[in-house]
Amino acid sequence: MSKPRPHYLDKNSTQTLQEGLEEYYAFNPHVTPPSTQPAEFSKILLAHDVGHVIYGCDTSMYDELKILPLFWWTSECTFQRFRQMRNTPAVDVMYDDLIREKGTFWLYSEICKTLPLVIPELILIWFRTRNRKKRLPFLEFEPLLDRSLLDIRQEFDLLQFIK
């Protein structure tokens, strides 16, 4: 019997962002809970998890490779801001989780295997996001928690990036 698909992955989901986030953690018990991390970077981890829910991304390598450019090109977490945050331990925690769970060899072989598959979609996303004016909040996402995912995705023109 196959595992049920989380509702937050449905591009037309009407659940709230808060409900989607709760479902994300229920479906992904291997994800480090931000509440277990020091305050200075738990918010970055939480913002990343919120992104998974808003962008309708699971935790597969394909979606992990897709979500970072989606952040850069459609949210307030631009590439420059990401580079600044890269100097915090939060980003390392995300990679450490994968390495602890699967191993270094697995991580890099999966990236090498998956990257050629995701590149065509990333190119399309890049073309569709050039000159974007309205950007999704990254660290200041709290006002969105009680809004429906569909409403958020429509407001920030994200439906086109969700399968």
Per-residue pLDDT of 15-66, as tens digits, reads: 999 999 999 999 999 888 888 887 777 888 899 999 999 999 999 999 999 9
From the CB of residue 158, how many other CB atoms can be counted at a distance below 10 Å?
20
Residue 123's alpha-carbon distances to 70, 116, 120, 135, in angstroms, are 11, 11, 5, 19
Query: Is there a domain that residue 63 lies in?
Result: yes
What is the residue range of 143's domain? 8-161
Query: Is there a domain that residue 3 lies in?
Result: no
Query: Is there a domain that residue 133 lies in?
Result: yes
Structure tokens at 123: 């190119």
Residue 95's alpha-carbon distances to 13, 28, 39, 92, 155, in angstroms, are 29, 15, 18, 5, 31
List of residues 6+ apart from 155 with CB closer than 8 A? 134
Query: Is there a domain that residue 80 lies in?
Result: yes
pLDDT reported for residue 1: 62
Q: What is the mean pLDDT of residues 130-141?
A: 93
Query: Is there a domain that residue 101 lies in?
Result: yes
pLDDT reported for residue 73: 96
pLDDT reported for residue 15: 98
Q: Which residue has the tokens 């591009």?
A: 11
Q: 157 versus 44: which is more confidently predicted? A: 157
pLDDT reported for residue 104: 83
Overall domain count for the chain: 1
Q: 90 versus 8: which is more confidently predicted? A: 8
Query: Is there a domain that residue 73 lies in?
Result: yes
pLDDT reported for residue 87: 65
pLDDT reported for residue 39: 79
